[in-house]
Structure 1
Amino acid sequence: MSIKRILRKTFLYLLLAASVVVISSVLVTFLYRDQLIDHFIREFNKNINTPVHVGKINVSSLSNFPQISLTFHDVNVEESYTDSSYPLLAAEKIDFTFNPIAVFRGNYTIEEIHLTNAKCHLKMNKQGEINYDIFKQPDTTQHQAVKLDLSKVRLKDVTFTYTNELKDVILEVFTKSTSANLSALGSTYDVETSGDAFLHYLMVNKSMWAENKDLFVNSKLNYNDDEKYLTINSSTVKVSGSDFGVFGSYIFKDKQLVDLAVEGKDTDIQTLLSLLPKGSSERFSKYRSKGNVYFDLVMKGEISDKKSPALEVNFGLVDSRLYHPDTDAQITHADLKGTFYAAEMAKLNTATLQLENISGELEGNSFKSNLYLKNFDEPYVKCDFSGRIDINSLFKFYKAENIRSGKGVLDANINFEGQLKDLKKKETAQKIKTSGEINLEHLYLALRDFPLPLEDLQGNLLFNNNDLALSDVSGSLGNSDFLLNGFFKNIIAYLLFDNEPVGIESDLKSDFIDLDQLLLANSGDKKDDSQYSFKISPRLVLKFDCDIKSLKFRRFKPTAIRGDLKVKNQVAVSDQITLNAMGGSIALSGMVDASRNKLVRVNTSFTLHDINVDSIFYVFENFNQDFLEDRHLKGKIFASVDAEMTFNDNLSLYSETLTSNISTTIKGGELNNFEPMQKLARYLDEDKLDHLQFSELKNDIHIENRTIYLPEMEVSSNITDIKITGTHTFDQNINYKVVAPLRSQRKIDKDEAFGAIEEDDSGRTMLFLKIIGTTSDYRVMYDKESVKKKVVSDLKKEVKELKDAFKNKGRDEQKTIELEEDDYFDWDN
């Protein structure tokens, strides 16, 4: 027989076979449609123990030709939890395929399943119950009309979510297209899977471990259904361009036992970082690497509600280069050997992390380091670092969130060892072993949330366990400069933990402090850069001995400022500060309490010695009034002042809170061109009262309830002797009483003045006047009431009572703010 006849005959056989398949498929579709649906539903109901809702069912010979397809549309399979109708599976359609010839012969065996546009929700609740226990135990004694002999499963546009409330795990994966080929020998199945996947997220214990990852999976699996034993052979998972080889086993017959190994192939630093929790890796996600980066993982042990498998991860770098694609800074010759091990991966108190022989060069400056961490719940840490770091290079390589820019050099050699929780208690803090030093060489730091740069920072920092010694640490902050010698106490805990205090005990020297600039910078208000902001951190404990050559605050420019300053619990206290200002000297003590929300409470005592009166009015901007100004006054003031007051955090005074006792003496005084005195001239038969000179003036003044109380004082001037008393409110309402000798009655109307004239003990005729109204609209009048009622004596008594009450209150307040010297740096446990 010729080849031509053989080919022709073969073609006819193939055409005949194809015709048989097509005819069988079409005949089955029309003749056996109802029978196929009836058998399938009956068997389906025998094996499924949760409600299944289907929109419609049809049989087709074309959708998966040459096989017959039984298609369920709009499928909703309820989960197996009692009294729950939440869907376990919701699918647009599910195709079950059959061999048409086998169906024609009465053999209803499912060979393939195609799942399209579906969402599958798998759950385990806190009691360990699953929601996918939907299959009944098969009854082997009954005949099965429909059988399962799968050779392929295909998924298209399917989303899987898995929620494990017992282990606090949430997972969501989407696949555009995945197929699995199956072959069976008895109860043993070989499965080959290939397809893409998109990992939306994997969250463990509220931490995001992975998010938005493109994956491609090729797996070869062997599954024994009798033994519930899964073997993973030569499988690979591609993540972010790197391949990971996966192999191992999973047994779940009596116990859940896992033995899994993962080995990285062609990995880089970005891939390894992407596997870490999102919070840990996010800031490093853009970094790249060149060189040898290795990674392998072994997970082995039991999975149950009480146990979890052991986990060991080995990773590292060998002569690699690390860089950020947006900058030109890079670490070269990077080496690292790392090991993570947990006896039970769900119990971080069993975990250890060891990073050995970390080394590299950051733009030519080399460094070395080691780190050992044990028990992630209560970490024990041992680490060391030595190297020279250029700050500009560091911030180019790693963008610090709170720092705009920096330059200068850190030369460091430090060691740390101890359990971190010991830092939180005074009695255990000394167990921490910290040693080494850092040399600062012309550092410059510009912060994002603070407008003033820290410039030319120099000096030596020496670690002593939990404290840091400062040796000749100098620099400038804006216009202000400083030189510190002392200690930072509790510095390690302050840097590592939120809400831990830091103590500074130091000598502070400065040539100049620009307090205006510092308070404006502290406001942090970019919209209003003219508003002060006063704050004391609740974490700051401070004890300074100050020596400041000069300071500027508005018009106040003191020099030779020396004294002590202590801060704790947002309260600043000084026993004594001395300074020179306004032509004389001032000594003060007191308390500033900023512990109340947006309130600054001040309690102070101070003395003024030989101060120019006009300078006081000028410096304090005439106390926001234009009635009595610096241009009216001359002389030297000696005073003792006790005061308390409250400001808002912008240093605006709540005037109603100001209370003060002022004992004052003015020597060599002058009152010039003061309008009320000029108006008095016509009553007192004096030609001029526009230039009064007096050798000494004494009085005890009290301020309370927005009112200045002025007890009677005698002004013996070059022209006349005048007694003055009265009140002056902060709203500029005045009520002054004036008593002066009347040398001649030619300028007054005797009838009008009747009752306002009286002789004193020496026989002099005295005229009683009053000045009432406001500072902008006042009148000088005869004061007949004071003659009759002795108003001056009444006011004197009232002022004395107010002063005595304030003094007693001040003593009580002082007791509440005293700080014990020996316990000043004791931290609350």
Structure 2
Amino acid sequence: MKKALLILVGIVAVLMATAIIIPIAFKGPLMEKVKKTINQNLNATVEFDNLSLSLFKSFPKVQAEITGLTVTGKDCFANDTLVSIGSLATNLSLSDLFKSDDLKISSLQVSGSRIFLLSTTDGQVNWDIALPDDAAQSPEEETGDALTISLQEIIIRDMSLTYKDDETTTLLKLLNTNIDATGQVEGTVTKFNLDGEVGEFILEYDSVQYIANTVLKAKSELTADYDKMSFVFGESTLFLNALPLDVSGRFEMPSDSMYFDILFKQPQSNFETLLAMVPEDYQNYLKDVKTTGEAGFEGQIKGWYYEEDYPGIQTRMFIKNATLQYAGSPEKVEQISLETSISKPQGGFDLLVVDVSNAHAQIRENPVDMSLHLTHPMTDPYFDATFSGKIDFTRLADVIPMDSMELRGLLDGKLAIKGKMSAIEKQDFTNISSNGAFNFRNFYILTPQITRPVEISSGNVAISNTEINLSQLAAKTGQSDFQLNGKLSNYLPYFFLNKTLKGEFNLKSNYVNFDELASLMAETDSATTTSSDSLIAFQVPGNLDLVFRSQINRASFDRMDIRNIDGLILVKDQALQLKKLNMDMLQGQLTVDGAYKNNKTNKPEFDFNLAINSFQIPAAYQSFSMMQRYMPIAAHSQGNISSQLKFKGQMDEKLNIIASSLSGNGFLNTQNLQILDSPTFDQIRNFIKKEKLKNVKIDDFTSNFRLENGNLLVDPFNTKIADQEVTVQGKVLVDRTLDLNMDFKVNKDDLNADINKTLGFLPGSENIQLLDISVVVSGELTQPKVSLDLSKARKQIEEEVKKSTKEQLDKSVKKIGNELKKLFN
């Protein structure tokens, strides 16, 4: 028993040692075979992180796994990775490892692969990496140390393929692809059972996505003849989202070309089955839908693909006498019909023809009809499209669930457009036919994105080759009403070529509540904000050139009552411009010229000229943040101001002015200015009579100023404060500190009683009528410090005293005593 146990342990030890030693021993030779096969057949740079062998993962076979595999092109594609694979594994027979001749690959497991196929504008492709026949090693030249491939099993997980054609501006993506294929080898022929799914199929042309959010599934019997490179479909089903298509036919790759002869057809000709083509993201809109009618989708791809020569395409989708009705809905869409074909003979894609005819749907007595004919899409697209119909959105809401959106109203109109793209590019509108007219009546729109409904009582639109004319558009939202008429020009180049859309409009209104309009867009979170907080920076589109002549009888903004708004509003060069925009407000008038333009940092730039005429100071202080920043004393003031201000700077994302960015210049003029109970003037009562400073009157003045990096610099100006002559100058800095000098010439009679008494003792004081006293205001703008500078006054008094005789001085010296100390201490 003991001896048998030792033998068993020995056998296990040998097997374990073999399982460890074999992968190590054969890793080197296998890597040589892999590299040799690659180098003999590919004109590309192939690299991988590691090649490992394991007897444990697929015992009794050996699993060989390459990780971090990349295939990179050469020459002009040297920087393009054609293929990257996270893991590429196969199972090898243990006996094959001991052979010196061919190593057969019969299975592949691929995971995490990314394939990028690129065709350039000059016709070069990055996947043409196979060496020419004369460069590749022929079987006769092979030494016997190579790989042969005879696949019977393929497992692909998480593969994404991207095809980009720069010349045709086509982009094709197959994302999140999984494929399982098992087969049986009969000579050079393998019969596969194929089961695959593409998580998302995307087709984009000229930066426009025509197919997205589409799932592809396939189940197929595929016979592959590797010798002839021929692939034949047996019983096969392809799913577009949930739409099944029976697929049959074959494709071949005899050399550097491909031949297709593939048929596909919807197995059940009914409308309900066709609706399965709707992308999964929108399938929830089709829940509880009842349908009737016949419908189908079918097609064929037949012909050769070589360079710019593509096979013929013939597809057809049709709907006949169908209906659609949601469960519980009182209305239904009926008489639904459609005939669509996309076809092309053998050749380039410019031969493609798209025909949509007999497109019709109806809700009660409201029909809609459409058609489209499109040819030569690649070189010079020719289009012929029509629309006519009457849509009652009130009834439509009874047919199609609108979720939380309310939509009512009537649209009645028609449009026909026909011509070539080249005529649009040349703006040769004589060869473009475009005409139509639309009428809007009693529209009511309320969505979760807006806080109050928008109502359009009436509107007419007329369309010609060159213009879209809008007339009689009457709209309302909240308390605001609008009447708009005008025209749009250059609209065809705008829609087809992304050129500039031009327009001129007249905007009239009896009342506009700008606070309501500023908060028209609903908040995205539950936080509540004031109307001013809801303002955010916005981008002005770059391909618009619009002019609005505005006449608004009355408006309100931030508690301000504004009347008689008249002027031009321009949208041009990615900027919002105001031209001579006049308005009556704050018991005065305002004229605005300027521009607003946002940038990549979302810090809009502005450049404005303001002409203010006779604003009431208290109301202006409450309304303008700049006045609150630079003139807080206005909070204690009455009277009127006028100003001419030219300034520019930046705003933040909430449209608050960034003070440090301000620069400009202007002047300020006052009328009937009076300072009421100002703490600043309270501090100079020790030299002017108190009754003069209770409500300080300031004579009208004009002050010139500059803005430099947010600092307000005030040039010297003269006025009278409390009937005293004064020269004022100084600055208010961007950090809200100030340095202000007020040089008074105080009337001797207005000095307070203590100073007058002291002066009366001095000889020569009768010659002083005006006393020079300077007041310095500094420190924080909201809590300034006031100090007196009496150096000039002291010098005045000294000069007059020096003129006195010794006898006059002796008589006065006993009287002045401590009084001089009070004055100059």
| Alpha-carbon distance between aligned partners in 2 of 1:680 and 1:160, rounded to the nearest angstrom | 82
| Alpha-carbon distance between aligned partners in 2 of 1:162 and 1:738, rounded to the nearest angstrom | 83
**Aligned residue in 1 for 2:370:** 369
Q: Which amino acid aligns with 1:577?
A: L
What secondary structure, in the 3-state scheme, does the structure 2 residue paired with 1:517 have? helix
- Which one of the candidate residues 634, 638, 655 is aligned to 1:633? 638
| Alpha-carbon distance between aligned partners in 1 of 2:84 and 2:773, rounded to the nearest angstrom | 98
Q: Which amino acid aligns with 2:609?
A: S
Q: Does 1:480 align with 2:486?
A: no
Q: Which amino acid aligns with 1:701?
A: N
Q: Which amino acid aligns with 1:436?
A: G
Residue 459 of structure 1 and its aligned partner are, at CA, apart by: 0.6
Greater mean deviation of Cα atoms: 449-458 or 559-568:
449-458
Change over 3 Å in CA distance of 1:264–1:620 after alignment to 2: closer
Unaligned 5+ runs, structure 2? 1-35, 39-50, 74-82, 95-103, 118-125, 142-149, 166-171, 797-825
Residue 389 of structure 1 and its aligned partner are, at CA, apart by: 1.7
What secondary structure, in the 3-state scheme, does the structure 2 residue paired with 1:615 have? helix
Q: Which amino acid aligns with 1:742?
A: K
Pairs within 5 Å for 1:509-658? 509-521=508-520, 526=525, 527=527, 529-530=529-530, 531=533, 532-539=535-542, 540-595=544-599, 597-620=601-624, 623-624=628-629, 628-634=633-639, 636-658=640-662
Change over 3 Å in CA distance of 1:555–1:156 after alignment to 2: closer
| Alpha-carbon distance between aligned partners in 2 of 1:758 and 1:606, rounded to the nearest angstrom | 52
Residue 387 of structure 1 and its aligned partner are, at CA, apart by: 0.9
Residue 165 of structure 1 and its aligned partner are, at CA, apart by: 7.6
**Aligned residue in 1 for 2:407:** 406
- Which one of the candidate residues 650, 661, 684 is aligned to 2:688? 684
**Aligned residue in 1 for 2:387:** 385
Query: Could you report, residue by residue, the CA deviation over 1:124-152 in whole angstroms, capped at 9, with x for unpaired residues?
Result: 9722749999999799xxxxxxxxxx9xx
**Aligned residue in 2 for 1:108:** none
**Aligned residue in 1 for 2:197:** 199
Change over 3 Å in CA distance of 1:155–1:134 after alignment to 2: farther
**Aligned residue in 2 for 1:174:** 179
| Alpha-carbon distance between aligned partners in 1 of 2:217 and 2:84, rounded to the nearest angstrom | 33
- 1:441–1:458 Cα contact (<8 Å) kept: yes
What secondary structure, in the 3-state scheme, does the structure 2 residue paired with 1:650 have? coil
Change over 3 Å in CA distance of 1:260–1:326 after alignment to 2: farther
Unaligned 5+ runs, structure 1? 1-48, 58-70, 96-112, 140-149, 790-829
**Aligned residue in 2 for 1:107:** none
Residue 472 of structure 1 and its aligned partner are, at CA, apart by: 1.5
TM-score by length of 1: 0.66
**Aligned residue in 1 for 2:783:** 776
Q: Does 1:747 align with 2:753?
A: yes
| Alpha-carbon distance between aligned partners in 2 of 1:82 and 1:591, rounded to the nearest angstrom | 51
Query: Could you report, residue by residue, the CA deviation over 1:184-207 in whole angstroms, capped at 9, with x for unpaired residues?
Result: 9xx9x9x9x796723346868789
**Aligned residue in 1 for 2:306:** 304
Residue 537 of structure 1 and its aligned partner are, at CA, apart by: 1.2
| Alpha-carbon distance between aligned partners in 2 of 1:388 and 1:757, rounded to the nearest angstrom | 102
Residue 508 of structure 1 and its aligned partner are, at CA, apart by: 0.6
| Alpha-carbon distance between aligned partners in 2 of 1:129 and 1:485, rounded to the nearest angstrom | 65
Query: Could you report, residue by residue, the CA deviation over 1:132-180 in whole angstroms, capped at 9, with x for unpaired residues?
Result: 99999799xxxxxxxxxx9xx9979888989898998869663487789
Residue 507 of structure 1 and its aligned partner are, at CA, apart by: 0.6
What secondary structure, in the 3-state scheme, does the structure 1 residue paired with 2:628 have? helix
Pairs within 5 Å for 1:153-232? 174-175=179-180, 197-200=195-198, 213-217=216-220
Greater Cα radius of gyration, structure 1 or 2: 1
Residue 275 of structure 1 and its aligned partner are, at CA, apart by: 6.9
Q: Which amino acid aligns with 1:516?
A: D
Residue 340 of structure 1 and its aligned partner are, at CA, apart by: 0.5
| Alpha-carbon distance between aligned partners in 2 of 1:254 and 1:671, rounded to the nearest angstrom | 92
Query: Could you report, residue by residue, the CA deviation over 1:287-328 in whole angstroms, capped at 9, with x for unpaired residues?
Result: 575321123322222233443211111221111234678988
Q: Which amino acid aligns with 1:73?
A: K
Query: Could you report, residue by residue, the CA deviation over 1:689-748 in whole angstroms, capped at 9, with x for unpaired residues?
Result: 323557x6122231424235153323286xx34324132525253432222211277735
What secondary structure, in the 3-state scheme, does the structure 2 residue paired with 1:688 have? helix
Residue 427 of structure 1 and its aligned partner are, at CA, apart by: 4.0
- 2:174–2:198 Cα contact (<8 Å) kept: no
Change over 3 Å in CA distance of 1:631–1:330 after alignment to 2: same
TM-score by length of 2: 0.66
Residue 592 of structure 1 and its aligned partner are, at CA, apart by: 3.5
Q: Which amino acid aligns with 1:410?
A: L
| Alpha-carbon distance between aligned partners in 1 of 2:136 and 2:277, rounded to the nearest angstrom | 34
| Alpha-carbon distance between aligned partners in 2 of 1:82 and 1:459, rounded to the nearest angstrom | 60
| Alpha-carbon distance between aligned partners in 2 of 1:85 and 1:606, rounded to the nearest angstrom | 62
- 2:65–2:88 Cα contact (<8 Å) kept: yes
**Aligned residue in 1 for 2:13:** none
Change over 3 Å in CA distance of 1:418–1:478 after alignment to 2: farther
| Alpha-carbon distance between aligned partners in 2 of 1:285 and 1:607, rounded to the nearest angstrom | 57
**Aligned residue in 2 for 1:261:** 263
**Aligned residue in 2 for 1:737:** 743
Greater mean deviation of Cα atoms: 463-472 or 675-684:
675-684
| Alpha-carbon distance between aligned partners in 2 of 1:117 and 1:507, rounded to the nearest angstrom | 70
Query: Could you report, residue by residue, the CA deviation over 1:29-68 in whole angstroms, capped at 9, with x for unpaired residues?
Result: xxxxxxxxxxxxxxxxxxxx969999899xxxxxxxxxxx
**Aligned residue in 1 for 2:316:** 314
- 1:737–1:783 Cα contact (<8 Å) kept: no
Q: Does 1:698 align with 2:701?
A: yes
**Aligned residue in 2 for 1:349:** 350
Q: Which amino acid aligns with 1:199?
A: E
Q: Which amino acid aligns with 2:565?
A: I
Q: Which amino acid aligns with 1:604?
A: F
| Alpha-carbon distance between aligned partners in 1 of 2:727 and 2:661, rounded to the nearest angstrom | 26
Greater mean deviation of Cα atoms: 475-484 or 129-138:
129-138
How high is the sequence identity, in percent, across the aligned residues? Answer: 13
Q: Which amino acid aligns with 1:307?
A: D
| Alpha-carbon distance between aligned partners in 1 of 2:473 and 2:178, rounded to the nearest angstrom | 56
Q: Which amino acid aligns with 1:546?
A: S
| Alpha-carbon distance between aligned partners in 1 of 2:750 and 2:232, rounded to the nearest angstrom | 125
Change over 3 Å in CA distance of 1:428–1:155 after alignment to 2: same
Residue 471 of structure 1 and its aligned partner are, at CA, apart by: 0.4
Residue 460 of structure 1 and its aligned partner are, at CA, apart by: 0.9
Greater mean deviation of Cα atoms: 300-309 or 320-329:
320-329
| Alpha-carbon distance between aligned partners in 2 of 1:769 and 1:55, rounded to the nearest angstrom | 96
| Alpha-carbon distance between aligned partners in 1 of 2:163 and 2:232, rounded to the nearest angstrom | 27
What secondary structure, in the 3-state scheme, does the structure 1 residue paired with 2:619 have? helix
Q: Which amino acid aligns with 1:511?
A: N
Pairs within 5 Å for 1:377-456? 377=378, 379-391=381-393, 404-419=405-420, 427=427, 432-446=432-446, 449=449, 451=451, 453-456=453-456
| Alpha-carbon distance between aligned partners in 2 of 1:94 and 1:285, rounded to the nearest angstrom | 50
